[in-house]
Structure 1
Amino acid sequence: MVSTVAVFLCAAFAVFSGAAAQTTYLPDSQNVYHLFTRQNPSVSQPMVLGFPTLIGSNFNPARRTVLIVHGWDSDAVSAFNTALVPAILSAADVNLIALDWSAGARTTDQNVLISHNVPLCANSAARFIVWLSQQTGATIDQYHIIGFEVGAHLSGIIGRYLDGQVPFITALAPTRHGFNSTNQFFPTDGGYTEAIHTDVYGSGVHEPVAMSDFYPNNGFFQPGCELVDWECSRDRAFLYFAESVASGGFTAARCEGDFDHDVILPINCDPEETLPMGGLTDKTGNFGFYSLPVNAQSPFSQG
């Protein structure tokens, strides 16, 4: 299924996102929202803000909606998308929308990306959610937003534009480059927020950013990745998440004390106080930071 998804998305990307090379990013017209459901698991129904005739016929307002958001210099055929689309649809009967914001994500100017394109995209995506809800009768409290790398922060900002009404937002390997306490993912961006940190020695945010923050292998370079290959460690965040959706596992131990990497070593974490990492079900009421061991190859969970 993954290869089929990738082939179709490549064609859709060429049709709908050909303006990505333009210097001006216009998210209302350039963002494309690819709808996948169990009725169309490998061929998306592309949607664009303000065009009701393009609303996917398989969108069901009675179902939960999962919005996934790729990262920097990426597009609709990213490994993040092709890993999560089949995993989520195999686990749950949802409306799965893959946001293609490649027209804004592909800039090489990091200042433009972070100070201009990310907030523009988040504002537009929030308005898309409101518009789609108005058109279909869906409600914001049915949403789960999942973002990767720069898209992790973007997902939080979408939630912020929606006044924290999204019940569940997941940040996968949120990047630290250019983001700070004023423009990054916040714990209060959704009703419940969760982050998975896998590359804090590479490009990832070191500190907790969510209500529950998980640090596989203490957030350092991940087993099975070369020490200098931070991209491998970064990408493990969405691979772990996909596995958590498909088969569960990933039991993490809660760590004590004020945050410091010294306190998320296993000796400072309580194996009797645990929380599962990832998945599609929020864990409202839980707070803190957690550590867990992982395997070097799939299956990554140790239970």
Structure 2
Amino acid sequence: MQPVIVFLGLIVAVAAYPTEDQVLVKLDDGPRYQYMSGPEGPELVDLWLKTSDVQQAARYNPDQNNHYHLFTRNNRQTSQPIPLGNAAVLRNSNYNANRKTVVLIHGWRNNPSSDFNVHLIAAYLTAEDVNVIMVDWSVGAGMDYVVALNNVIRSADHVSRYINWLLAASGGNIARYHVIGHSLGAHQAGIVGRQLGGRLPYITGLDPAMPGWLTHPQAISSNVAIYTEIMHTDAGTYGITNPAGHVDFYPNGGRGMPGCGDRNCDHHRCIFYMAESLTRGGFTGRRCDNLNAALGGNCAGASLRMGGPTAKTGNSGMFHLITNAQSPFSRG
């Protein structure tokens, strides 16, 4: 039985009948305790789902706790909250269905003021005249890691319903959507894409989280969108190593980013690479024959730009590039 099915099925039962703390599900085949990147640095997390975790998760209701904030060039600094189903608020907002819509999904223990949101909102609005929808699922993301991991699926269901509503209410076109997620948010972006039938034209996964996702049936993959791009900056610790998109970029071999002194910095450096790729471009990778070549930098194939606002539909493979230690990070 898949872990998420067990988890969701037990929420009501465990919340209604308190029991002593028992292990319900063991995620992945690796160690029970692994490190994950938190806001203050590495945190040792428990990947075994317990009854106390299910009770904690019962306090998260995406219908009540997920919030959606619109930013445009007319309101760069102050968001316009647009609740799901409120057509009047949508009509009176700066949302324009003729523009591209960018959906941002943050990671574990992040919130609206985290680097992921602050830098990517500013960068995308500088690059293009777009609607940016910032997904605030911080209530679900702020719980213990194994709980937040399972909340990813619950939040993704709400986000996909929100996008469907936005399309119907505004007369928009799904072909003009770009969804970007970081860490746990990268997997959530993939689940959203899967629930939308793989019709999204462009999904970007920034260093998708590794703990709990190695064998997870809903981990991000190439079939979640018409074009899925993955950026690996902490492969093997906080982020996954194996390719998961149509195109996977391994800047600096996917780990040990120049200018970073720890893995926490590595895991978040992809945010700054993505932001710079939107405004400046310049990140040019070379195609690699295999994963070992991508990790080792032994790549001399065709070139392809990393990131950016436009899907590179039709391309595939693994790519390696070198970055600078500080901004500007791109060498191109």
Deviations 1:210-249 (A, max 9, x none): 10000010001100111xx211111110100000001010
Aligned to 1:286: 315
How does 1:160-239 map onto structure 2 within 5 Å? 160-181=194-215, 182-226=217-261, 229-239=262-272
Aligned to 1:156: 190
Q: List gaps (5 residues or longer) in structure 2.
A: 1-55
C-alpha deviation, 1:50, in angstroms: 2.0
Aligned equivalents of 2:235, 2:280: Cα separation in 1: 26
C-alpha deviation, 1:302, in angstroms: 1.0
Aligned to 1:99: 135
User: Is the aligned partner of 1:266 residue 2:297?
Assistant: yes
Q: List gaps (5 residues or longer) in structure 1.
A: 1-20
Aligned to 2:39: none
Aligned to 1:112: 147
Aligned equivalents of 1:33, 1:124: Cα separation in 2: 11
Aligned equivalents of 1:57, 1:299: Cα separation in 2: 35
Deviations 1:255-286 (A, max 9, x none): 003x3x3554233x11x511000001000000
Asked if the contact 2:252–2:297 (Cα under 8 Å) also holds between the matched residues in 1, the reply is: no
Out of 75, 87, 104, the residue aligned to residue 68 of structure 1 is: 104
C-alpha deviation, 1:58, in angstroms: 0.5
User: Is the aligned partner of 1:43 residue 2:72?
Assistant: no
Relative to structure 2, which stretch is displaced further, 197-206 or 155-164?
Answer: 197-206
Q: Which amino acid aligns with 1:302?
A: R
Asked if the contact 2:181–2:206 (Cα under 8 Å) also holds between the matched residues in 1, the reply is: yes
Asked if the contact 1:218–1:291 (Cα under 8 Å) also holds between the matched residues in 2, the reply is: yes
Q: For 1:62, what is the secondary structure of its paired residue?
A: coil
User: Is the aligned partner of 1:132 residue 2:166?
Assistant: yes
Asked if the contact 1:201–1:221 (Cα under 8 Å) also holds between the matched residues in 2, the reply is: no
Q: For 1:200, what is the secondary structure of its paired residue?
A: coil
Q: Which amino acid aligns with 1:185?
A: I
Q: For 1:72, what is the secondary structure of its paired residue?
A: coil
Aligned equivalents of 1:53, 1:151: Cα separation in 2: 29
Q: Report the number of matched residues.
A: 275
Measured on the aligned residues, the alpha-carbon RMSD in Å equals 1.5
Q: Which amino acid aligns with 2:185?
A: G
Q: Which amino acid aligns with 2:221?
A: F
Aligned equivalents of 1:144, 1:262: Cα separation in 2: 29
Q: Which amino acid aligns with 2:273?
A: Y
Asked if the contact 1:216–1:292 (Cα under 8 Å) also holds between the matched residues in 2, the reply is: yes
Asked if the contact 1:29–1:49 (Cα under 8 Å) also holds between the matched residues in 2, the reply is: no
C-alpha deviation, 1:202, in angstroms: 2.7
C-alpha deviation, 1:139, in angstroms: 2.0
C-alpha deviation, 1:51, in angstroms: 2.1
C-alpha deviation, 1:138, in angstroms: 0.8
Aligned equivalents of 1:248, 1:263: Cα separation in 2: 21
Deviations 1:18-68 (A, max 9, x none): xxx985211122111110001111111011112223326100011110001
Q: For 1:195, what is the secondary structure of its paired residue?
A: strand
Aligned to 1:241: 274
Asked if the contact 2:97–2:171 (Cα under 8 Å) also holds between the matched residues in 1, the reply is: yes
Q: Sequence identity, in percent?
A: 44
Question: Structure 1's 300 and 131: CA in aligned 2 closer, same or farther, altered over 3 A?
Answer: same
C-alpha deviation, 1:140, in angstroms: 1.6
Aligned equivalents of 1:254, 1:192: Cα separation in 2: 17
Deviations 1:49-101 (A, max 9, x none): 12223326100011110001100011111111111111100100110111000
Q: Which amino acid aligns with 1:151?
A: G
Superposition TM-score, scaled by structure 2 size: 0.80
Aligned equivalents of 1:25, 1:41: Cα separation in 2: 29
